[in-house]
Amino acid sequence: MTAAIKVFYGTNTKGTLPAPAGTGAPVLKASNKTITTANGYYAVINPEITSGTVAGYYLQINGADSYFKIDYSKTRGARKAQTVSKHNEGIFRELGDNSDSLIVIKLPENATLDTFCITYAAYDSLNHISNPISDCIAIVPVGGGTESAALVGTWSFTRSKYGNEDWTSDYYTPDTIYSGIRCDNDTLAYCSGTSDCRTVISSHYWKTKLELVLAADGKLTNVYEDKSYRLDMHSSCTDPTYLDVSLSYNVYGAWSYNPTTKTLILILTGEDSANPESYNVQSVQLSELSATKMVMYGANDPTYLTEYTKK
């Protein structure tokens, strides 16, 4: 496995993981997490530093005869751990940018579907070495097999609810904002309460599509589209115009489903399927699944329910 994986900004060295050393060495918080991923995708570890500074990490697969030295002093541009998307819609939540503390491991395409464990330690600029931390990486099969055939298809978001509240189905309802406008030397300006103010539409916005496409081969695509128009404040007072700021994007990744626990795992790799620039794993539990309807709990909020209808 050591020879097959890629550790971002890591150099492989024969030997065992260096032992803790040095006064004032960094201190890491105990973890013992299991990171879920799939072949060809990423395992992303976010160590918690309780004290000290970190210049990089040493990492070893348990039982291996070599370890990786991760050097954070190397060029940072390619090590950008961006969020899944700059837009938060449906099941996808923005997690923030932790690019200066992440350990990123790229799995090979044909690893054994199993769980393996790693040990890592932080080092500072003086090579003081922290306490070792252990985590495990679970490689799950993509897709869901015959027991999960009902999931395959294109699912359109229909409505959502919190707790005991009623379902809300106004997701695609247009939203119009009005503002007071006046002319100032033939330039539009916002105003309020003056005699020369007139009320106009300052923006008009509606969402047109939110779909989750689950393919039989385990790939997924999240499709988002909206229409949005904003008053151009540089346009003529007598003939104001609107800027088209509509948005559309796809988020790509893979999916896996455990029918016993009704858990849907979504491995999200950003807006470029060929060159993924971000990585995130969402684990959501389904409260209902039929040939035409899927209802899932929120990944971070079990009181939040979203409903999707198969097209």
Q: Which residues pair with 249 in a beta bridge?
A: 224
With a cut of 60, say whether residue 256 has pLDDT above it.
yes
pLDDT band at 82; cut points 50, 70, 90: very low
- Reduced to 3 states (helix: H, G, I; strand: E, B; else coil), residue 261 is coil
**pLDDT tens digits, 84-141:** 333 344 444 333 333 346 788 888 888 888 899 999 999 999 999 999 999 999 988 8
Name the pTM for this structure: 0.68
Residue among 199, 210, 204 at smallest CA distance from 174:
204
With a cut of 90, say whether residue 294 has pLDDT above it.
yes
Average pLDDT, the chain: 84
Buried b (16+ CB within 10 A) or exposed e, 23-37: eebbebeebeeebbb
- Reduced to 3 states (helix: H, G, I; strand: E, B; else coil), residue 149 is helix
d(CA 252, CA 271): 6
Q: Which residues pair with 105 in a beta bridge?
A: 7, 43
15 DSSP 8-state letter: S
Question: Are 16 and 67 a contacting pair, CB within 8 Å?
Answer: yes
Between 6 and 98, the more confident residue is 6
pLDDT at site 81: 32
Cα 293–chain centre separation: 24
Cβ-based neighbours of 206, under 8 Å, separated by 6 or more: 172, 173, 174, 175, 226, 227, 228
- Mind listing the domains of the chain with CATH numbers? 6-139 (2.60.40.10), 146-310 (2.40.128.280)
**pLDDT tens digits, 140-188:** 888 766 778 899 999 999 999 998 899 998 899 999 999 999 988 888 9
